[in-house]
Structure 1
Amino acid sequence: MGINPFWQEDFFLIVQGIYHQAQIQCAEHHFIISFDQKLLIHLIPLDNDFNPEELTQLQVKYQKENILLIQLWEDVWLTKRTQVLSRINSFLGLNKSYHGRKAKIAALNLKQASSFLNDNHLQGYIKAKCHFGLMDNDKLIAVASFSEARPMKSKGESYLSAELVRFASIDGLTIVGGLSKLIKHFLKQVKIDDLMSYADRDWSLGKGYNKLGFQLSETTPPAFLYVNEEKLIRYFPHRLPKTILTAFEAQNILNLDDFLASNGYLKLFNTGNLKYHLYL
């Protein structure tokens, strides 16, 4: 797969063909696509001189004007094009609406959940304890994944918390009340004191969580990660392949960043997360 030097032009031509209002809006050295007065997408090449603080400040600048600025990295566009376009549709209110009350809830196995989330979530599947789906007749239209209940002794001897790890619906569909329905179902199965979740600041201002009654508890700092230049797979430091870590430990010349760079891994970053809690 690898890096595509023409990916920004590719993105603009595709979105302009779909969304005729899309316009290039260059701001200094930032390549930004404007869709309307409420949505901007900042196109970030893998080879860049940006730093986390700069991109965070850019987000805050537009947020003060009630504008959502998406940070779209080159590797995400090249590997998750369908999911990116689906999110744009959702932001622009172009999805079809489906009332969650019409759907039935089903417990899902690992294969069902991972397949659906890899197809419909920008960050794909990640390990979780239980998975529930919304079914329209025999069709799976949404999935929510939750962690197991964990003790939080800092909040009390018997205090338990769980995490909403992932939620996604199929392309082109906004399920009104869908996530709320799945959360309520989970809470009937597991007795906890709060439910926690994260909103990716590259893609969200967390408004969906606010509507569900979650409270913002923390803004986490930007995190560094690595992407394999050939396969465009992202890795956080604690999830790097064992083979590359073993090779790193076998040498004592280069530090980790330099060793990874010499082996085809670029160092990237995100703009952090918004951490939310639903207190029960």
Structure 2
Amino acid sequence: MTVKLCIHCKSLRETGSSFCSDECGRAWDRKRKSKAWKERGLKDLTCKSCGEVFQHKDKRKQYCSIECERNINNGPRMTKQTTETIMRNRMSPEDFVELYEKVKSSRQLARMLDVSRSGLDNYYRKLKFIPESVKKTCKKCNVEFSYTLKSPRDSVSLCPACKKGVMQDINKDYIQGRPSHRRMSSRDPKILEEITPYLEGTSFVEVAQCPESDTHVNLTCICGNLVTLRVKDFRQKSGSRKKSCGCMRGTGVSIPEKELVKLVEDFTHEEILENRKPKFMQGLELDIYIPERNLAIEFHGLVYHSERPLYGDKCPIKIKTQHETKYLRCKEAGVRLIQIFEDEWREKRRILESMVSNAVGQSSKLNARDGTISLYSGGIFREFQNETHINGYTNAAVGFGLYINGELVSAITLRNTWNKSYGDKTIEIARFSTKLNTQVRGGFSKLLKAAEKWIREQGYNKILTYADCRFGSGGVYRNNGFQHVGKTPPNYFYEKGGIRENRFKHRKSRDLSGSTEREQQNNLGWYAIYDAGNEIYIKEIGDLKES
């Protein structure tokens, strides 16, 4: 009788089968398939070190063994060093302890040495024999407790139970100081009552429900703008809540003022001082000051710089003379001061940008001798002065334009003056302006000579002009023979809701309540805002025979 053994377990099996049981058959089948799968993915590769052929699944493998890889790299592989090993190689333990105690922050020291922060702490603890766990006495309950030091600099004074109680008290006080943490709906009148006290110290004067959302409220700014905020924003700390719509300089630097600062930075690389108080200002502040150019720029928000009572019934500063005072102090120090109103920056920004670029020497240069003079043309002059003069076009008796290469680059207009105190034979310069972002050398002088010839022919003997102190002191007039004869007091306008209008539009009316013009306008929400006045210049000219 022939004895047959199982292929898998080598035990006796029955004839007609290769396995003693079905389990051995399935096990053998799994083993055979696994071996075939392993051999299927092997690839023949050549070792770069010894040149022998070896098999591996990854075709990027370059060496057949670790020894071959070490030989090709001229030594053993680099192992990762601990922080302690690195520091021992760099300095002595005494120097390390001195450096660790000198630098107050472990994180800063770790960045300096480019090592692990926890490794530095552990190395220092090991050198100073500081245990990882210490026992301390709680200052509040006098109970001894164990504390695991995260760093040798760690210090605790309260046990975990007392510390947890203190944090709960802090959170309780924080919550009680603000509207409750229930679902806050603006439809609830109590919520509006809770929010109202937070309007104090801001430019918001009224809070109301938001029609579009239950979780928002509408805040009305003192300038008339409407701002929508979430009700839950009033849980935040007061320093992070919005205090205005962006119009009030008193609650921080306004958005237009930031735009003005960025404009100046784009025009010049010289030092720009923001919100500084130079000695010559005697305690007053300048928004922008460029010492190398002897140039200063002020941005006037209409609400904050008007007589509108922001703090009860009292104005915070002397509104009437504040702009004139800054102008006079800058003039005494030889500094040119440009003062810009909020509405001018919004509506006539291109003119102001041209004015600033000219002040810092970034405008293009032209020569008046290359141009020709032409007499007044109403339509062209109207459009030109509306685009180039801060006050726009005004009616005039005559005008002269300077053309270079067929383009109008500068213009002057004359009118009969309403001020008869300087004589009946006096004519006034109504407007003088130049093409934007352009400086015409000798432009005013050439236009003035052409105007003087016409003035003599008409029988006038004096030329009167005013220089707006918000933009300069009239140096161009002094350089062309004008004499300074005085200064007007600050003029005033009326502002409301970000709009500034001439005072002649708001004269006293019998149909309104109030004994004075100011009272009537204040009742309507209009408040006065002042400029810096005007410098007055006169030039006497001879007749045709004398010339």
Give the structure-1-normalised TM-score: 0.85
Structure 2 CA distance for partners of 1:153 and 1:174, relative to 1, 3 Å: closer
Larger displacement relative to structure 2 (2-11 or 182-191)? 2-11
Please report how far the alpha carbon of residue 93 of structure 1 lies from its aligned counterpart in structure 2 after TM superposition: 2.2
Partner of 2:429: 164
Shift of 1:129: 1.2
What is residue 110 of structure 1 aligned with on the other side?
378
Match of 1:11 in 2: 260
Could you say which residue in structure 1 is the equivalent of 2:441?
Answer: 176
Separation of aligned partners in 2, 1:202 and 1:150: 22
Give yes or no for contact 1:196–1:275 (8 Å, CA) kept in 2.
yes
Query: Does residue 75 of structure 1 match 2:343?
Result: yes
Q: Which residue of 2 aligns with 1:46?
A: 302
Give 3-state SS (helix, strand or coil) of 1:52's partner.
Answer: coil
Q: 8 Å contact 1:149–1:190 — kept in the other structure?
A: no
Match of 1:101, as an amino acid? R
Comparing 93-102 and 11-20, the one that deviates more? 11-20
Contact 1:221/1:273, CA 8 A, preserved across alignment: yes
RMSD: 2.7
Q: Give the conservation status (yes or no) of the 8 Å contact 2:490–2:534.
A: yes
Contact 1:222 1:273 in 2 (8 A): yes
Q: Percent identity?
A: 21
Whose Rg is larger?
2
Aligned residue pair count: 270
**What are the superposed Cα offsets for residues 147-200 of structure 1, whole Å, 9 maximum, x if unpaired?**
148895875xxx611011110010121111111111211222232211110001
Amino acid at match of 1:107: L
Match in the other structure for 2:526: 265
Which residue of structure 2 lines up, in the alignment, with residue 101 of structure 1?
A: 369
User: Contact between 2:512 and 2:520, CA under 8 Å: does it hold in 1?
Assistant: no
Mapping for residues 1-280 of structure 1, pairs under 5 Å:
5=247, 6-21=255-270, 22-27=272-277, 30-37=285-292, 38-48=294-304, 49-50=316-317, 51-148=319-416, 155=423, 160-191=425-456, 192-227=460-495, 229=497, 232-235=499-502, 237-238=503-504, 240=505, 248-253=509-514, 255-263=516-524, 265-280=526-541
**Greater strand share, 1 or 2?**
1
Counterpart code for 1:25: N
- 22-31 or 116-125, which deviates more: 22-31
Task: Tell me the distance in 1 between the aligned counterparts of 2:422 and 2:259.
Answer: 50
Quick one: structure 1 residues 177 and 258, their matched pair in 2 at CA, closer, same or farther if it must change by over 3 Å?
same
Specify the SS of the correspondent of 2:447: helix
Confirm or deny: 8 A CA contact 1:105 1:134 kept in the other structure.
yes
Deviations 1:190-230 (A, max 9, x none): 32211110001111122111101100011111111124535
**TM-aligned CA distance change 1:255 to 1:52, over 3 Å:** closer
Structure showing greater relative contact order (alpha-carbon pairs closer than 8 Å, 6 or more residues apart): 1
Equivalent-residue separation in structure 2 for 1:185 and 1:222 (angstroms): 33
**Cα distance, 1:91 vs. partner?**
1.6
Amino acid at match of 1:23: L
CA contact (8 A) 2:267 2:360 kept: no
Instruction: Mark the runs of 5 or more structure 1 residues left unpaired by the alignment.
Output: none
Describe the SS at the equivalent of 1:171: coil
In structure 1, C-alpha distance between the alignment counterparts of 2:521 and 2:444, rounded to whole Å: 39
Structure 2 CA distance, aligned partners of 1:117 and 1:255?
36
Separation of aligned partners in 2, 1:7 and 1:151? 37
Question: What SS does structure 2 have at the residue aligned with 1:190?
Answer: helix
SS at match of 1:113: helix
CA 1:257–1:151 in structure 2 vs 1: closer, same or farther (change >3 Å)? closer
| Length-normalised TM-score, structure 2 | 0.46
Maintained 8 Å contact 1:200/1:274:
yes
SS at match of 2:345: helix
Following TM superposition, by how much is the alpha carbon of 1:254 offset from its aligned partner in structure 2, in angstroms? Answer: 6.6
User: How far 1:13 moved relative to its partner?
Assistant: 2.5
Cα distance in 2 between the residues matched to 1:261 and 1:133:
43
Q: Which amino acid aligns with 2:289?
A: S
Q: Distance in 2 between matches of 1:68 and 1:123?
A: 20
Q: Kindly indicate whether the alpha-carbon contact (under 8 Å) linking 1:19 and 1:35 is maintained by their aligned counterparts in 2.
A: no
